[in-house]
Structure formats: C-alpha cells, structure tokens
Structure 1
Amino acid sequence: MTRCTGILFLLFHSLALLAQGGDVQLRAKADALFDEGRYAEAMPHYAQLVSLEPNDRDLNYRLGTCIIHGGEDKDKAVGFLKYAVEDPSVPALAWYQLGRAYHLTYRFDKALEAYQHYRGVADRKLLAQRPVDHLEQQCRNGQGLLSNIKDVAVHDKLEVASSEFFRFYDLQGIGGKIVVLPEELKSNLDKKSEERGLVYLPDEPGPIYFSSYGKDGRTGRDIYRTELLPDGSFSTPVKLAGYVNTDQDENYPFMHPDGKRFFFSSKGHNSMGGYDVFRCTHDPGLDVFGPPENLDFAVNTPDDEVLYLVDGEGTTACFASGRDSRQDMLHVYRVSTTQVPVTITVLQGTFSSAFDPDDREAHIVVEDGLTRERLAEVDTDLDG
C-alpha cells in the first residue's frame, strides 16, 4: 500500500467512524425524547435515522409511535408500524400503536384486529397499563356511526396550544365567558389533578355546569350543577342524575340559553374515540335530561372533540378538536350547525406495475380536482 493510498484509507475510515458516532448520538437524543413522551420533538430525529436504516424495525416502531402522538397526519404512521410488527421481537406495544393508528384514521376493522393481536402478545402488566377493552368498544361504536355520515360547513379553523385553546373562541352571538374552574368548585381530587378544569359562565344568572372527579373519582369525571348565590359563593354542587354521566369521563358541559339543549363531551356512551360531543334535551319543568345523542362524524372523530358551544339562534357552533393536530395543540373550529349528508365513493382494485408485474407497492394520493387540496394518502399492501 502506497503512502497516499494509506492516507486516503485512514481518511475515509475516520469519516465513517465520525458518521457512525453522529448516528449514535442522534439515536440517544431521539430515545431520550421518546422516553419522556416528547414525541413531536423526537419525530424528526427518528425520521432521519429511519432514512439511514430503513430496515431497523425498532426505529420504524418508534417513528410510527411519534407520528401518532406528535404528528398531524396520523395515516403516515401505519406503514412504519406495519413493517415493525412483522418482527416478533419488537415490543408488544407496537401492536397497540398500530391499533391506535388504524383507530385514529377510521379503519375500525383493522384497529380491532391489531388490538386483538396486542392482547395475544402483551403480558398482564402491560395489558393493565394499556388496556384496550374500551378502545375496542369505541371502534365498534365507530362502525355503527359510519352508517350515517354527515358534514358541516367550516367557517373558521385555527391551530392553538391546547393549554390556551379556550381563549380563542369567538363568543360573539354565544355570549357568556369561559373561565378556569374556580377553586371553590374543585374537589380534593381535582386539585391533585394536572388537568385544568374549564367552565362556561352564561350572561344570565342561573345554573352553572362543570366537570369534577368528585369525592372518590370512581367514575372518572362527571358533570355537576351549582348556582352563584347573592353573597358570591356557590351552592352545594349536585351531580347530574339520569343519562348524562357514565363510568367514563364527562366534561365541558354547555346549556344553551333556551334551557333545553344541553351539550357535553364524553369518553363513554357511544363515543368512537377520546371525547365525543353529545347533546340531549333538558326538561326544565321536570328537571330531567333525556338520552344523549352522538353528533357523529359531522363533528366527532376518533380523537378528542371538546367544549361545543352554540349561538343563541342555534345556527353556529364553536368547538375544539385534536384531529390533524400536533402534540400539545388543538384546532378551534367555528362551524354551521346544519348537517348535510356526505356522498361516499368507494374506489377498489389492485395494483401491479406495467414494468414489473411482481411489484405490488404503490403510494396513492387523492386530491380535490378543483382546489388541488390533498385529501388522503394511502399505500397498497403486499398484495397490491
């Protein structure tokens, strides 16, 4: 080996070691963020690592998980997680995350299959930490709601920090104000919780509705009613009886000024995932709340929909949603309350390359023909 060749060899070897060391540091940083639950921050690091090592199943699992919990386009997580779970040595939680990816993108059948597989590979401790019973029920709820899909006109949409989302509501036509739950209405469990309770205060004196864990928290958050007394104190809160509360969380109540239409968010009833918005009818004379009705796909998604407020005429509503939102962010919507049926077109078929009949992999993009807005992206499976 000549001296020149030897120098070149050492130079390339040193560069390779430097690059390798950089990858190790990048992986360590990504893993640290992942373990802290800072998925949005970890996501670009894992994306870079997967581009360097696309066959690493664990990296694919971690990137897919980050997209679910930290990204806007949850659908992109499916491909990474499907590839990850092909290796039995990846964490059992990968099947759970694949189920979440399917669940959040309305593929309820696939989500149920993934949750069922997760049950088969997870140990008792993990199943206790990450149960799927309620998630499976929400998928079945979603399947039922799919039979009646409607849509609403969106007047305004704004992505904001989830900790401050209520400050961005346009209350013109609605009135009242949204405030942080007063200390006097908090139970001991509420005070220990990291969640910040919110309450809508109407302009006119009358009942005030709020959510609380109560004394024991046995049924999660429930909705209570109180009134502001002349001396500025609150009357003793009373838990709503009847159909409203369940063994899951109920939150963000709103009584329409007509005293009859009552809206709230719930993880129970027939929620398709997270908090769904429900409405029921209140009989002021009998003080009875009727059976809640899911506002279905016109408003709700498998993610969280919260704090649904309607104007006095009942034509416009504001609410917040986790759909297509980054980690620690929510979208605040102002929409028409008029729902219109959605026409569904199903395009079904198989793909094979004209150049290589064995090539069954394709990336399909669906766009609006007029606006060119990208509506959906999907990858074919191994069978095309």
Structure 2
Amino acid sequence: MLKYLSLFFFSLIFLTSFAQNSGKISIKRSMNEARRYFFFSNYKSALPFVQQVYRTDTSNAYYNYLLGMCYYNLPLEKSQAISYLVKASRYVDPDIKEWSIKQKKAPFKAWYYMGKSYQSAYKFDKAIESYKKYNELSFFSDKVEVEQLIKSCESAKVLVKDSIEITIENMGRIINSEYDEHTPVISGDEKTLIFTSRRKGSTGNLLADNGSFFEDIYISTNENGKWTSPVSISPNVNTPGHEASISLSFSGNELYIYKDDFGIGNIYVSNKVGDEWQAPVKLGSNINTTSNETHATISPDGQTLIFTSDRAGGLGGKDLYYCNRLPNGDWGVALNMGSSINTSFDEEGPFFHPDGYTLFFSSQGHNSMGGFDLFYTELKEDGTWSEPANFGYPINSPEDELFYVISADGKRAYFSSIRDDSYGGKDLYILNLLSVPEKSSTVLKGIIKISGSEGIPSDLMISVKDLTNNKVVGKYKPNKETGVYTIILKQGRNYEFSCETEHCKFIPEIITVPEKSSFYQINKPLELNPLGMIEKSE
C-alpha cells in the first residue's frame, strides 16, 4: 500500500512540475512571438500573444506595459491603452530586462506613453502630469520633445474651445477597401483623384514585413458627380516595389511620386501624355540627395517646387525647402524656407493651394495640439511668408494630421484617416469646411488648337500676364496630345494670353475674368493664329 501511495505522490509531483515547465515554455514562446511582431511594428498580430502572457499574471507591471503598448499602436483601440499603462506606471524601474517572462516592473517609458494615451483621449491635464512625472524619473528622456508635448497639450486646451464647423464623409466603398488607402491628390477641377493603396492585387502582389501589401498608385475620375471604380494608374508607374502619390499639378498632367530607393527616400515625376502616364523620372541632385526627400508640392504655374527633406543644415528633423524652375526646365538650387516655417521638430506634407499664395503643411512644432497638425501660411507682396496659423479644431487633433489637399474653392479637403466608419485600415475622406469662406477664384479650362493645323507642338507654353500690373502670373503647359489646359486666376481682371514654341509665336488674346462673389469655372477654348517665326541666333 505504501509503495502505491509513494508512486502516486511521485507521479503527482512529476506531473505538476511538468505542467509548470510546460506553462513556462508556452509563456516564453508567446513572449518570443510578441517580440518578433513588435520588431516589425505589427501590433495587431502581436496582441493575442501579449494577451496570453498577460493572463498568466494580470498584476505584472511589465505585462501591463506590453499590453498597453499594443493597444496604443492600434488606432481604433488606442483608448484601451490607458488602464494598462496606469497599472504599469505604478511599478517602474530604470533597469529592466526587456522581453523576459521574469520581468516584473515596467520601464520609465510607461509614463511617457501614458501621457500620449491621455493626450489622445483629450485628457490634457492628466497628460501633462504624466509627461512631467516622466521627465522627473528618466535620466534619458528627450526633455525638448517632452516639453513640446506639454506645450501641445496647453495649445489643445485653447484650440478645442474655438472649433470650426465641418462635416466629414467617407468616400465610400467604391474608393476604399479593407486595406490602407492614403495620400490622395486631386486635379484643379476635382475631376481626377489619385491615391496610394495597399490593397490586394498590387503589382507583384508582395507582402511587407508588417503583413500588408506593397503600395501602388490608383486613379479614379469624377463622372457626373460620381467617382469611378479606381484602377492601377499605369504599368509604367507601378512596379513590384513601393510607389506613393504625393502631388498632382493643377492641370492634372504632372504627378509627383515618392519611392524608397534602398532605404533612401527620393522624389520622381511622371508626365501624362494624352491619356497615358509615362515612366517616372527621378528629380535632379538639387532636390534628391543621400538624405530622405519624402514629399513635394508643385505651384499652380508649375514654376516652384516645395518639398520635405531631412538633409544636413536644416533647423531640425525634416524641413521644408523650395526651388524654382530654370529657363531650361531644370530645377534650381534648393533653399530652406527658414525659421518662420520650419521648427526644431518635423515639418511634412506641403500642399500649394491652387490660389498660388496659400501653403498648407503639417508640423509637430508651432502651436500643435499633438503629433502633426495642419497649418497654413500666405505669401505676402514682399515675397515672405506670413506666420503659420493652426487650421483649428476639430480638423486638428492630438493625432497626426498629414497629407491634406484642399479644393480650389477652399471648401473641401481630401485626406486619409482611420475612423469608426472605416472599411479597414486607413480610408479616404472628404472634409467639408462649412464655416470657411469660399475663395473667389476662377478656373479657366479649355482646349488649345492651332488654326490650320492638327495637334499642338510638344513645347508649346502659355504665358499669362495680369494687365492690371503687367506682371506675368505664370507659364503653363497644356497636355501635349489633347491640348487641354487648366489655369486658376484672380477675379475682376483682364489677362493677356500669349503662346509660343521654340520656333513660333502666336497672336496674343485678351481674356476678361469677371468679378463674382464665389468660385466658378470658365470653359474657354483657344484657337491660335501664328504671329511669326522666331529666329534663333547661331
């Protein structure tokens, strides 16, 4: 009998020990899986493994920290992060062993992310308390960044009291998919929408490290007030790698594209000839460097490019730069836009409005509410830019507002976001600016024809002079094959349209743009009559 009892207790101890060891192996395996997904910023896939670890000891501060970090990095579930980070912040230690199942305390960073989570939830006073505590505890914290976060919370408390009236609508399933759509760009007449998507069926059908498909560029057109089903823009543009749309000229004939060239961000341009987009061409060394150039915008007249770069010599992080087009068509030397625009933090996503004098951009500096906020500045008569103004709440929020494009009449903005009504990932939205006054500009659009000739020369340029002050408003290129041109002009003025090629000038035409109280469009076909040949000196 004693023999059997001894055998029973031995077996029980063995099985208990085996179960404990198996449990530890299972927890360790889950921790390793979570670590792997964290490395690739794939928090959605990491979440179930972190939850498995957390359930073994819900009071463990480090486990709470990991779970809080998962939720913080999942936009639609970010609000759940607070309760876990609060528990994590009660037991912190500067010297922890990351990803160990034996780790009991959380890092000091728990206070930082608790502040970020409170800020996202519009609990600005609690966020400020958390940031201050983090600065007190951590010897390694970025004091400048945290002070800016505190400043942004103070700005947010002011901005939310003075909101502007807007409505936001999802662009619908015809445009959006269950995958990410982002960085929309539009033509001046709002008839063409181009955007970037990670949807299934991309060129090459390849998957990135975070489990999403590679980025491709898609195009949709507005026909009778409805957007058509998007299609891949062109096999000339999309490759098995990543391509992202960043800017479209006012005419809709010139598309600027971001590409990652072996870890270095560069800007390319594709031109539309007829109905076909050409293979993108990398911009020259005045723009692209060994640093990262990530975004760009072209002025309505096509003569100025404003872009983002983190090159050396800036004011800090990413700065905005500009360069002008030379007579030979190349881009001139790039110049920093200066401290009135750039800060010691990042500036990103510039957008030159079709009115020709308003620049929108995103910044982590100035009086941001947190993350990137949308700002605007206006070009003054002396050639300098006005002090940037925050676009206001609820357009701006404690999250990142990036890559907005504004319609020519100033009443709509196209942007991407993750919201409760998203179909999955980021979707494209239209923001209606109800309380913003309509811009009193006029779009002039038409087809150029040459009398007695079919087609137009590929080098034809339109020069527009404002007869009020005899200043050239800009120089524009029509579509080389279709002859379609699109130009935006101020109202209540007379303009001289003169066209020329390398070998021929045409009789100028005077066009009157009436003064009206609102934005409107004029359809104006131009039939050119040759004035004479241009003699070229040897």
Aligned to 2:87: 83
Count of equivalent residues: 333
Aligned to 1:98: 114
Aligned to 1:296: 392
Once the two structures are TM-superposed, the CA of residue 79 in structure 1 deviates from its matched residue by 0.2
Structure 1 residues 38 and 188, CA gap change in structure 2 (3 angstroms) = farther
2:60 to 56, 60, 67: 56
Q: Check if 1:117 corresponds to 2:133.
A: yes
Aligned to 2:323: 226
Aligned to 2:302: 205
Once the two structures are TM-superposed, the CA of residue 330 in structure 1 deviates from its matched residue by 4.5
Once the two structures are TM-superposed, the CA of residue 203 in structure 1 deviates from its matched residue by 6.4
Once the two structures are TM-superposed, the CA of residue 151 in structure 1 deviates from its matched residue by 4.8
Unaligned 5+ segments in structure 1 are 341-384
Q: Check if 1:261 corresponds to 2:277.
A: no
Paired amino acid for 1:244: I
Paired amino acid for 1:209: I
Q: Check if 1:310 corresponds to 2:324.
A: no
Whose relative contact order is higher, 1 or 2, with alpha carbons under 8 Å and at least 6 apart? 1
Structure 1 residues 103 and 170, CA gap change in structure 2 (3 angstroms) = farther
Paired amino acid for 1:222: D
Deviations for 1:226-256, whole angstroms, at most 9, x for unmatched residues?
2334533112223335732223222221121
Q: How does 1:12-27 map to 2 (within 5 A)?
A: 14-27=18-31
Once the two structures are TM-superposed, the CA of residue 70 in structure 1 deviates from its matched residue by 4.0
Once the two structures are TM-superposed, the CA of residue 99 in structure 1 deviates from its matched residue by 1.0
The question of whether the paired residues in 2 share the 8 Å contact of 1:228 and 1:234 is answered with yes
The question of whether the paired residues in 1 share the 8 Å contact of 2:308 and 2:319 is answered with yes
Aligned to 2:180: 160
Q: Check if 1:138 corresponds to 2:159.
A: no
TM-score (norm 2): 0.54
In structure 2, how many angstroms separate the alpha carbons of the residues matched to 1:238 and 1:258? 22
Aligned to 1:375: none
Aligned to 1:68: 72
In structure 2, how many angstroms separate the alpha carbons of the residues matched to 1:309 and 1:290? 20
The question of whether the paired residues in 1 share the 8 Å contact of 2:300 and 2:355 is answered with no
Q: Which has the higher helix share?
A: 1
Output the aligned Cα RMSD.
3.5
Which piece of structure 1 moves more, 138-147 or 12-21?
12-21
Deviations for 1:46-69, whole angstroms, at most 9, x for unmatched residues?
122212321111100111122213
Aligned to 2:433: 337
User: 1:45 aligns to what SS in structure 2?
Assistant: helix
Which piece of structure 1 moves more, 215-224 or 178-187?
178-187
Deviations for 1:242-295, whole angstroms, at most 9, x for unmatched residues?
732223222221121111322111111111112111112223x43232222211
Unaligned 5+ segments in structure 2 are 94-105, 184-195, 198-215, 226-249, 259-266, 269-281, 437-538
Once the two structures are TM-superposed, the CA of residue 190 in structure 1 deviates from its matched residue by 5.1
User: 1:298 aligns to what SS in structure 2?
Assistant: coil
Q: Which has the higher strand share?
A: 2
In structure 2, how many angstroms separate the alpha carbons of the residues matched to 1:130 and 1:30? 31
Aligned to 1:44: 48
- Larger Rg: 1 or 2? 2
Once the two structures are TM-superposed, the CA of residue 206 in structure 1 deviates from its matched residue by 2.7
Q: How does 1:1-20 map to 2 (within 5 A)?
A: 1=4, 9=12, 14-20=18-24
In structure 2, how many angstroms separate the alpha carbons of the residues matched to 1:245 and 1:62? 35
User: 1:254 aligns to what SS in structure 2?
Assistant: strand
Structure 1 residues 324 and 66, CA gap change in structure 2 (3 angstroms) = farther
In structure 1, how many angstroms separate the alpha carbons of the residues matched to 2:165 and 2:43? 31
Once the two structures are TM-superposed, the CA of residue 169 in structure 1 deviates from its matched residue by 8.1
In structure 2, how many angstroms separate the alpha carbons of the residues matched to 1:78 and 1:317? 32
In structure 1, how many angstroms separate the alpha carbons of the residues matched to 2:153 and 2:218? 31
Aligned to 1:28: 32
Paired amino acid for 1:309: V
Which piece of structure 1 moves more, 230-239 or 135-144?
230-239
Once the two structures are TM-superposed, the CA of residue 82 in structure 1 deviates from its matched residue by 0.4
Which piece of structure 1 moves more, 114-123 or 156-165?
156-165
Of all paired residues, the percent bearing the same amino acid is 25
